[in-house]
Amino acid sequence: MKAGMFSRFSGSTDDVLGNKLTGLLYPRESESREVKSLDGFWDFAVPPADDLQKGHKDAWYSTNLSKVTKVMSMPVPSSYNDVTTSRSLRDHVGPVWYEKTFYGPVAWKSDRIFLRFGSVNYLAEVWMNGTLITSHEVGHLPFEVEVTTFVLLGGNNRLTVAVDNTLSKLTVPQGKIVEAETESDGPVKMQTYTFDFFNYAGIHRPVLLHTKPKNYIQDISVVTEVFDQVAIIKYQVDVFSLNAKEVIRPGVKVDLYDADRNNVLEKTEIGSEGVLEIKNPKLWWPIFMDKNPGYLYTLEVCVTSVDCSKADVYRLPIGIRQIEWNNTSVLINKKPIYFRGFGKHEDAALRGRGLDLVTIARDHELLTWVGANTYRTSHYPYSEEALNLADKMGFLIIDECPSVDTDKFSSQLLKKHKMSLSELIRRDKNRPSVIMWSVANEPRTLNRDSPNYFKQIVNHVKTLDPTRPVTAAIAVSPAEDRAGQYLDVISFNRYQGWYSNTGRLDLITHRVMEEIQAWHDKFSKPVIMAEYGADTMPGLHELPEYVWSEEYQAKLLSCHFKAFDKMRSKGYFIGEFIWNFADFRTAQTYTRVGGNKKGIFTRDRQPKMAAFHVRKRYHALAAEEGKTDPPNDLENYTSSHYF
């Protein structure tokens, strides 16, 4: 058993910040668990610009928010920035305040009650009925707290959240606060950052109350391996006992059901950890690598408490697959993977980075339409709802933490960076879709402090999960980089024909081939091109092609495709990720017309010319795997004499 993966989240003290980092299973209803959503309209308030700490100083959490300040209605989940017509709110830096009242069900009097936030960006402080109950730093990751003793059952409760989006050299990601002059109001705080996406803020994902029995399943860890026609499923269940006030392992029953709800075990497994053997399993395959991709079993765990009170039942979807890697390949179920996909963003008009199931569904539909098999969660962890769909549909995920453009490698930052990775791996360790961990995007790895920093980062990840390869998207040249030596897979970002040699389509193919070769020559590891592309204004057409036109984007991608096909024959080039899947919002600058326009889809998810070009390539690559037929609408009929 991979002890490293199973020993970290069992109630032990985390060695990074000294915090208790226990299991954090996704809330699922069962015979023993209920889930209540607190999503909807919340009261929302912004402190005065000249006194941003007024809410804290005046204890706005101690009474109804509307009694102490002016409030408006704010949808949760959402980013608050684009909801109103206020420029000051869009560009606000500092704390804002949310409040929600809810009724505590009397039926929950024998249960333990937990409050869970899917994501709050960036810093959250949470009060229940005037009492501070938890805080959390770093966005894009869930956190929860037990509120059994704070919730009034049979009455109304007041939940207050302060959210602060301020970034500094000690946050993940980093930023800087500067003062800017105004004509009438004096200096104002402005947030600056080097990363190229808008710093959306707010309560971005669902807020849930959920119950667990007095003695409950705290965590489940699963690792799967495949040998010929036999699957090995290693599991560990951690149970919290109220009586012992510590993590224990009492009576645990484990069953495994297929997609048709048939129990595939010859007998129920007894014990908090063990090994299941499944003959002739249905393996989890990526989309287009099998006729039935994304096959999921259900691991059903039942715990009866020591005092024979209410049992706890949790059902965890799992996929049976095995990941391996060497100095040329990443393999799934013994077959090498060629990654064809995109960098993305969680970004939509009005909603910002707020969870939007319609956008998630549309994105995965378009990924299927275009023939992709993968995407990178650039540049932060995506929602659990998105990854649930990726698990089910068979998309491969490179799961990235929120570290972007890091250039000051301090010991304080290292602790927070490690913690963000701990929380990410705790959340996604059981997902079959998650194929690789990405520990950073475009860190300044030429800096002299970067080697020791990333050695510690990668070692931390390997301690938590030795079953997946580790990568980072590197922007410096092979000659300058000092971090690739610690990675399992080299991923690099380069914009030939755009930021480099703008307009020079003739230079792209050769330059890209040279760099791929240089990365492998230096590190002898598999190589992925993690970002390349060109900004494109939809509807702008130029013949011959010209920068910003749809024709130029299509041609630039085509020049890269030539390089990729030549380098694939070398055996160590294993993937291509277009930047970007769809246009997205950035900070204001004269180089960004309404945001970053490198998407092959517009921000409202409609195709540009390049999308049809990419679709032909990706489906041709998928057809090489021999498991699926290409769509019959890749070409439109033109003439019976057309060849």
DSSP 3-state assignment of 341? strand
Quick one: how far is CA 374 from the chain centroid? 13
Phi-psi sector, 333: left (phi>0), alpha (psi -120 to 50), beta: left
First to last CA, the chain: 57
Angle, in degrees to the nearest 10, between helices 357-370 and 609-624: 60
Neighbours of 452 (CB within 10 A): 12
Identify the residue whose tokens are 């990941």: 323
Torsion over CA: 289, 292, 294, 300 (sign)? negative
What is the helix (H) or strand (E) element at residue 618, kind and residue range?
Answer: helix 609-624
- Main-chain dihedrals φ then ψ at residue 385, nearest 5 degrees: -65, -40
What is the helix (H) or strand (E) element at residue 108, kind and residue range?
Answer: none
Active-site annotation holder among 125, 442, 550, 576: 442
Please, are residues 77 and 354 in contact by the beta-carbon 8 Å criterion?
Answer: yes
Enter the tokens of residue 461.
């990840």
Length of the chain: 643
Burial class (CB in 10 A: 0-12, 13-18, 19+), 508: buried
d(CA 296, CA 260): 10
DSSP 3-state assignment of 101? strand
Neighbours of 70 (CB within 10 A): 9
Amino acid sitting at position 183: E
Catalytic, 442? Answer yes
So which residues are the catalytic ones?
442
